[in-house]
A and B are shown apart, each in its own frame.
Chain A
Amino acid sequence: MTLIISLLSGALVYAVSVMYAGIGETFSERAGIMNLGVEGIMLMGAVTGYMTAVSTQNLALAFLVVLFTGAVLGLVFAFLTVTLQSDQTVCGMAMLTFGTGLSGFLGKNVAGVAANLKFENIAIPFLSDIPVIGPILFQQNLLVYAMYFIVPIAMFYIYRTRYGLKLRALGENPAVLDAGGENVFAMRYGYIIFGSVMMAISGACVSLGSTNFWSSGMTAGKGWIAFALVAFSSWNPLYLTLGALLFGFISCLGSTLQIYLPNVPTEIYSALPYVATVIAFILATGNFRKKHTAQPESLAVPYDRESR
């Protein structure tokens, strides 16, 4: 029983760490901007947060620095893709390389240094006493609790508000919004920066959440899994949650299976989440019967008033 509880609660922690990035990317792609640099931004968020935590021992400040890092990188990305209308794939790769390199460069001094400061698990009174569900859902850290609210808010925002309607239109046909007097450029800037901040928080989940250290390239493809999940979930935060939980479960399964099947090489378990991502991604996004996909029509197309 304790095994199942630790497996599921581990799955939840893993899921949340990719969901921040996933929801950020969802908003960004809904706005028509494909940000391939998720992994780089996550790493930058992880390293700046951790560095601040080590040097100031102030968790709130560290979190603010994470938000700030995300915002700055988002601003750079928005400038390149919206103002300069550059190719978004190329920009994403540049962001990825930049983030990976800079995070490794900056984080050299704190690699292997213990911060002893993280988002501690807080047991919620009464709720955490419920058998099975309590320890899984209500003995987590603040970042996980926040996610319980972010998903419904995101769903409500995208599908039930006037702003959400505009957001969806922004990714489908920005020219319509422009004709309606909306500032397409400002809106895209806003959503890119929001998305990027969320990706940076994902990084903080990795370095200041369940695991509490920094090593170069520590996100190990989580940013890409988040990116894959967005298309996998049809740009819907609720499906994203389900997908993330599934992947969290698969990747935590390895350590549990290892106890029962010690003869299987551990590499098989570490490869599981990646294999699962590829297979699930092909099955979910494959165009097997010319079906309609939910991909925003203008995704990765720069908006140019001249070529309207």
Chain B
Amino acid sequence: MKIKFRKERREKQTIIRTILTSLLFTVLALAACGIIIAASGFNPIEVYTKMISKVFFTGRGIRKMLDASLPLMLCSLGVALTFKMNLNNIGAEGQYAMGVIFGGAFAMYGPRIDGFAGILMLAVCCFAGGALWALLCAIPRALWDVNESITTLMLNYIALIILSYLCLGPWKAAGQNVGQTEKLRAGLELPALGGAKVSSGIVIGVVAALIIYMIYKSTTLGYQMSVVRYSQGAARFAGINIKRNIILALVISGGLAGLAGCLQYAGVSQRIMEGMPNNAGYTAIVIAYLSKLNPLAIIIVSILFAGLQNSSATVQVMGVPTQIATMIQGTIMLFVIAGDYFQRYRLIRVKEVES
């Protein structure tokens, strides 16, 4: 007798099953990474304990984690917005950099407006920078059907090269060896939240997530986007302007990535540095996927991923390379993709009797 399996499509997907399968496969992914860590001569349990304890169980660790989650959160919200329409914006990294560049230009050459109005204008500039960078890909995509994955990605490299040129050249702070600008003037800094020493950017991030959630749930735009996602034909037939929606989604997405730059610049680092996005734009893709594009889930997953990223620095003293964070992210994503199969299908054992 041979044991065989037959797959059967599940009628519906429940939230609990989604969460549980994702969690289960995340744990499996961590186990797989543990094997790789052990193979390169470290004790995986020691590495994991150290990573978790320093970041998730100390006040300082949690504060830093929340701060680090800001750019991830906004970039993922933007990326998820385009994924919702079957567009792939892989350019959050570059849009982030462009946002920072526009913000920096405002802070350095713009009118000296401080306080709330100043911060608001800084945010608008950053948003505009990211949006403009995304627009360069949105127009060819909407009008001539040019694959946006390639164009957005290539613009990442260009934006990062411009950023490093500015940080090492005209914007370089005097007397510094590293490529970074002068400190942002105090009037433009985002205030810390109460006495908690956490940047108030977290409020902006959460509010942005809620707004996007509301847009999905209860506006015409959100509805039109979901129609475009499932069937372009149906959307066209219903009189939805597909081109407009494509451009809008990519531009808002880019703007959010630019805003991520603003929060990092005005809220956390206060300086613009070479290579400032630090892979946030790519991590955002993983986060958006793991959150199933749900803005509220993105908040939580970004915070956890920020913790993961910070924790890689804590094990560096043991000689573990910092790339451990990216490796774990990639492995988690591979495993959760595999796990999604079990959300879509159930396997049923079929008994085959030999005649």
Contact = CB atoms under 8 A, between A and B. Distances in A.
Interface of B is mostly: helix
A106 B40 contact: yes
Contact of B330 (A101, A271, A286): A101
Nearest to B151: A278
B338 interface: yes
Nearest to B340: A86
B328 interface: yes
Max chain B CB contacts within 10 Å: which of A93, A105, A227, A288? A105
B46 to A, nearest CB: 16
A287 B140 CA distance: 9
B338 A93 contact: no
A80 B337 contact: yes
B223 interface: no
Interface size class on chain A is 35 or more
Q: Main SS of chain A's interface residues?
A: helix
B116 interface: no
B321 A104 contact: yes
B60 to A, nearest CB: 26
Nearest to B337: A86
A293 B298 CA distance: 37
Interface in B217-231: none
Nearest to B334: A94
Interface in B132-152: 140, 144-147, 149-151
A80 B327 contact: no
Interface stretch (B105-113, B162-170, B238-246): B162-170
Given A86-B340, A90-B337, A285-B147, A224 B164 contact: no
Contacts of B289: 90, 93-94
A286 B147 CA distance: 9
B65 to A, nearest CB: 20
Given A101-B327, A101-B329, A104-B321, A282 B146 contact: yes
Interface string B319-345: 001011111111101100110110000
Interface string B158-200: 1001101100010000000000000000000000000000000
Given A97-B285, A108-B323, A220-B157, 4 more contacts: A85-B341, A91-B337, A221-B154, A281-B151
8 smallest CB-CB distances across A and B, nearest first, come from A98-B330, A101-B326, A104-B323, A101-B327, A97-B330, A286-B144, A108-B321, A94-B333
